[in-house]
Amino acid sequence: MSELSLLDKWRKKSIHNFTPLQASLELTNRCNERCGHCYIDSFKDDPQRTLTLEQWYHILQQLRQAGTLYLILMGGEAMLNPYFWQITKKSKSLGFHTSMISNGLKIQSEEMAEKLLESGIQQVTISLYSLNPNIHETMTSVRGSFAKTMNAILFCQKVGLKVSVNSLLTSLNISSIFDLEDWCVQNQLEIKVDPTVTSKLSGDMTPTRLRASRSQLEWYFSERKKRWVNGQVKASPESSGDFVCNAAKGKCAVTAYGELLPCIEVREPMGSLIDESFETLWNNPSVQPWRDMRLSDLSRKSETGFCEHCPGMAKNEVGDLHQELDFSVMLSEVKSKVSQDLGE
């Protein structure tokens, strides 16, 4: 069986078993960029609540016992956690597959990339918004960040780390997105372009003002279809058992203060992993609404086969996890329309 189909089989198994095969850790809220689109409310950590190294170790051990294989380190900027290197080493010794989502600003030499590899990081996903430095830096609000992020990609690739690119698709970078996609393909970099800009975690809608418009998204998906053999918009797999998503089933997340979340998007903590065991929190009845959510519970407005609903995002924005957001409905309509267009 190929690696992908085996992983897919295990992913489905984890959803079915409620085993958190994937866990995202927000190692810190601190960051060295100031992206206008960022969902993080404050780039400061509350010193009263930050975790000690022993507490991070305790969390790693609990996740391992609970069945986590894939650990995703993020933040803020994960490398700004003072215990970053100890945490990666521990994750290696515990047998996790560890990856990191990063802006790359702290990876400014081959030695640093090598250190990441040796400490147990197996994959790095770098956030890059455009090949045009002005556009990238307009989004990150840090002058010089484009060159640093590009350097990070090159250093990581050079030492043999698996590197991929994340690009949030906004009205600011959509005009140059295909240059970036082409460059990634030429450089053997997987790229994920995500058009869904969420609100801040507090519900502040400022980042959503950067969302691409309906006509921009139609243009993007139509162009994609023309450019790439596999660029056709695909129906979202209306997941097994009619579940809306994987939150609190095959995945979970942990905040910088050790709170367990059903998913990085769902900001209702199940409790503190410092005060209670993973098992107690994971089996807490308060998680059930997230775990049980099925497509049939939604008063569906989105196009069949193109559900873009994220319960966490809906809860943050409108306070109701069942309500499909206008943006999600619009995105589903655009995808459905483009998938049906026969083209010129």
Partner 1 sequence: MDLAKIFKRKEGLPWQEMEELALVLVPHSQEAHELNETATFLWKHFDGENTVADILNKLSVEYDIDDKTAFTDLAESIDLFHQINLIDEVL
9-38 residues in contact with partner 1 (CB under 8 A) are: 9-10, 13-14, 17, 19, 21
Q: Measured from the CB of residue 209, what is the shortest distance to partner 1 in angstroms? A: 39
**Site map (CB under 6 A) of ligand SF4, residues 97-116, x = contact:** ------x-------------
Q: Measured from the CB of residue 43, what is the shortest distance to ligand SAM in angstroms? A: 10
Among 25, 59, 63, 74, the residue binding ligand SAM under the rule CB under 6 A is 74
- Interaction partner, residue 160 (ligand SF4, ligand SAM, partner 1, none; CB < 5-8 Å by kind): partner 1
Torsion of CA 34, 35, 37, 41, to 10 degrees: -20
- 76 binding ligand SF4? (CB under 6 A): yes
Among 71, 72, 101, 252, the residue binding ligand SAM under the rule CB under 6 A is 101
Would you say 25 or 38 has its CB closer to ligand SF4? 38
- 102 binding ligand SAM? (CB under 6 A): yes
Q: ∠ CA 40-99-313 to the nearest 5 degrees? A: 35
CA distance 219 to 32: 33
Q: Measured from the CB of residue 287, what is the shortest distance to ligand SF4 in angstroms? A: 26
CA distance 11 to 84: 27
| Token pair 């086969």 in the structure block, residue | 305
Identify whether the C-beta of residue 252 lies closer than 8 Å to the C-beta of residue 23.
Answer: yes
CA distance 86 to 63: 17
* Distant-in-sequence, close-in-space partners of 229: CB < 8 Å, separation ≥ 6: none
* Distant-in-sequence, close-in-space partners of 151: CB < 8 Å, separation ≥ 6: 104, 107, 108
Q: Is 122 helix (H, G, I), strand (E, B) or coil?
A: strand
- 35 binding ligand SF4? (CB under 6 A): yes
- Interaction partner, residue 14 (partner 1, ligand SF4, ligand SAM, none; CB < 5-8 Å by kind): partner 1
- 31 binding ligand SF4? (CB under 6 A): yes
Among 37, 64, 136, 315, the residue binding ligand SAM under the rule CB under 6 A is 37
Cα 48 to the chain's mean position, in Å? Answer: 27
- Interaction partner, residue 175 (ligand SAM, ligand SF4, partner 1, none; CB < 5-8 Å by kind): none
Q: Is 170 helix (H, G, I), strand (E, B) or coil?
A: strand
- 25 binding ligand SAM? (CB under 6 A): no
Identify whether the C-beta of residue 37 lies closer than 8 Å to the C-beta of residue 141.
Answer: no
Identify whether the C-beta of residue 152 lies closer than 8 Å to the C-beta of residue 127.
Answer: no
Selection from 144, 143, 140, 11 nearest residue 68 by Cα: 11
130-169 residues in contact with partner 1 (CB under 8 A) are: 160, 162
Among 58, 92, 106, 200, the residue binding partner 1 under the rule CB under 8 A is 92
- 31 binding ligand SAM? (CB under 6 A): yes
CA distance 50 to 27: 9
Identify whether the C-beta of residue 103 lies closer than 8 Å to the C-beta of residue 140.
Answer: yes
Q: Measured from the CB of residue 326, what is the shortest distance to ligand SAM in angstroms? A: 16
List interacting residues with partner 1 (CB under 8 A): 1, 3, 6-7, 9-10, 13-14, 17, 19, 21, 67-69, 92, 95-98, 120, 122-123, 160, 162
